[in-house]
Chains A and B, each alone.
Chain A
Amino acid sequence: MRPSRALPAVIAVALAAFCAMALSLPLAGCGGEPQGTRVVRMGILRNDLHQVAYYIAREKGFFADEGLDVREGGAFSAGPEEMSAFSAGDLDMGYAGTAPVVTFAGQDMADVRIVAQANMEGSAIVVRNGLEAPDVESLKGRTIAVPGYSTVQDFLLRLALDKADVSEKDVSIIVVKPPEMIPALSAGQVDAAVVWEPYPSMVAAQKAGRVLVTSDEIWPHHPCCMLVADAGFLRENPDTVRRVVAAHVRATEYINENELEAADMAHLFTGQPNDVARAAMKNIEFSFRPRPEGIERYVEFLKDNGVIKVDSPGAFTRALVDTAFLPGGGS
């Protein structure tokens, strides 16, 4: 094709692509709290077991029962991207981990409020096969992987080492993303790893290693995933947020009352084998009520490490957590 003929075709294709993009944009920015079915753009983490309440509320019709049309505003592979989507105004609510929520809120990068907990605990220290390690103390001199600098898992490891009287200088802590931890353990590249479920259960199922200690033994009821709402959305649509929280609470109770069925649904949601999903969910405490003291403890850790600058971790946490929408209201 000669360039003179190709040009109109190229322009036509570009225009078509632009129109398709414009048409696919979500219906955003509906002013005032609408009547009838309310649309919520929900952010979720891809393949994450901790937010299985979202999946159950959707599949069991709990959202619909509340008159909600909850749409997946984005499925993210990591929390930081989800928080960026919040700051870009692309999400109304979302399920995310404590670390991205607190770090982004603590630096004014995203204006969100924690309106409910999704789960607590649910992490573990795993060790590779063939490593003689009966306890945390025996990890001295070893290489231990964490999923990210200053994550809850990083904090859990430091707590566990401290408890076992092992100095951080006596171990080598490196960052390895969870999917890469399993091959790294199998190949003996790392001796241990601290990671959230379902990875510890996957490590065990794939015989790459075993669980040394679960996170509830290190820090009981430590915060993990939470349900957050954009502060602006919360201000303008308090009733919608209340309904989402109600559906989330109902789903969380459903998980606790129907463990096996919930695990089977988690298996469908995350694509994990059934036995992995079941084992993993046993290690997760599904609970909808946030424990501000746990969040505050983590905020202090971030502050001490210079990750966020807040004057008072207590005041910051109180402003971040909004339990007014939970059954029974305020904290």
Chain B
Amino acid sequence: MKKWKVLSPLIVLALWQLLAGLGLLGKSTPTPVEVAQGIYQLTVTGFPPGYRLPGHIAASLGRVLLGFGMATLFAVPLGILMGWSPAFDNALDPLVEVVRPVPPLAWLPLALTWFGLGMFSSAFLIFLGAFFPIVLNTVSGVKSVDPYLVEAARTLGAGEATVLARVLAPAALPSIITGMRIGVGIGWMTVIAAEMVGVKSGYGLGYMILTARDVARFDYVVAGMVVIGVIGFLMDRLIKAAEKRVLRWR
């Protein structure tokens, strides 16, 4: 079955090349070969000319890591509190559920007013994308901890703080990590909206994609999409690998 891991992307690529090569996907759809050339040109010449791919990757990676890092930092403790205390849950759940469906792009003008042009407004939009999956998964992770475990810890004389830190948090860790995996994915999905705010440095994958769209360079648009996909995939694998190490006790 493992061969399908390699075969399925190859089949998709071949189909894409065939359909786009025959012009069946519309004028604007580049073929995989053109996209590969696009990635090469982005690396060598850059787009806009002079702004090369490594710079775009570094800029977006920085924004995503900042937004995602802040989201994790705030969402995990909040989720643990909400999962642990019904009072917290009742108070915060409606708020979370009202804000959660709002598309990050809608926050754009406010983000600009609050944080100005640059790193922080971009990171804020990515934060919004990543925050909610982490909170919700943490809450459900904590809630699903076996109550007997908590009881047993209390019987053995553990205080609330110890129960929280030594029982609930570790038991909820698999859920939290799942939330982080979803969160980082949504963080990358938000990167175009985030870089629509205006990019001071002239670097960013989302910014590059928007600029390429403006001048009808769809090979660069798809090249940017592919690069984002690959980085997102690698980050997911990284978290998965970390999960294996952290959860060795399981």
Contacts and interface: CB of A to CB of B under 8 A. Distances in A.
Interface string B190-208: 0000001111101000010
Contacts of B26: 87-88
A189 interface: yes
Interface residues of B, number: 26
Given A109-B27, A183-B109, A190 B117 contact: yes
Interface in B102-141: 108-109, 112-113, 116-118
Given A179-B109, A184-B198, A107 B117 contact: no
A174 B198 contact: yes
Interface string A171-201: 0101111011001100101100000000000
A305 to B, nearest CB: 8
A87 B109 contact: no
A67 to B, nearest CB: 32
B202 A87 contact: no
Interface in A78-94: 78, 80, 83-84, 87-88
B140 to A, nearest CB: 22
A180 B116 CA distance: 10
Contacts of A148: 211, 214
Most buried by A among B27, B202, B207: B27
Interface in A51-89: 78, 80, 83-84, 87-88
Contact of A80 (B109, B199, B216): B216
Interface in B198-246: 198-200, 202, 207, 211, 213-218
B54 interface: no
B198 to A, nearest CB: 4
Given A88-B26, A109-B28, A149-B48, A180 B112 contact: yes
Given A88-B26, A175-B198, A307 B207 contact: no
B155 to A, nearest CB: 41
Given A109-B218, A148-B211, A175 B27 contact: no
Interface string A114-153: 0000000000000000000000000000010100111100
A175 B116 contact: no
Nearest to A147: B214
Contact of A174 (B108, B116, B202): B202
A108 B30 CA distance: 13
B49 interface: yes
Nearest to B109: A183
Interface string B1-44: 00000000000000000000000001110000000000000000
B113 A187 contact: yes
Contacts of A184: 112, 116-117, 198
B46 to A, nearest CB: 11
Given A145-B198, A174-B202, A176-B198, A183 B112 contact: yes
Given A80-B216, A180-B112, A87 B27 contact: yes
B196 A150 contact: no
Contacts of B112: 180, 183-184, 187, 189
A190 B202 CA distance: 14
Contacts of B49: 305-306
Nearest to B110: A183
Nearest to A307: B215
B66 to A, nearest CB: 18
Contacts of B198: 145, 174-177, 180, 184, 189
A249 to B, nearest CB: 29
6 contacts: A149-B48, A176-B117, A179-B109, A183-B112, A184-B112, A189-B198
Interface of A: 78, 80, 83-84, 87-88, 99-100, 103-104, 107-110, 143, 145, 148-151, 172, 174-177, 179-180, 183-184, 187, 189-190, 305-307
Given A87-B28, A189-B116, A305-B49, 18 more contacts: A78-B214, A100-B214, A103-B214, A108-B27, A148-B211, A149-B48, A149-B215, A174-B198, A175-B198, A176-B198, A180-B198, A184-B112, A184-B117, A187-B113, A187-B116, A187-B117, A189-B118, A189-B198
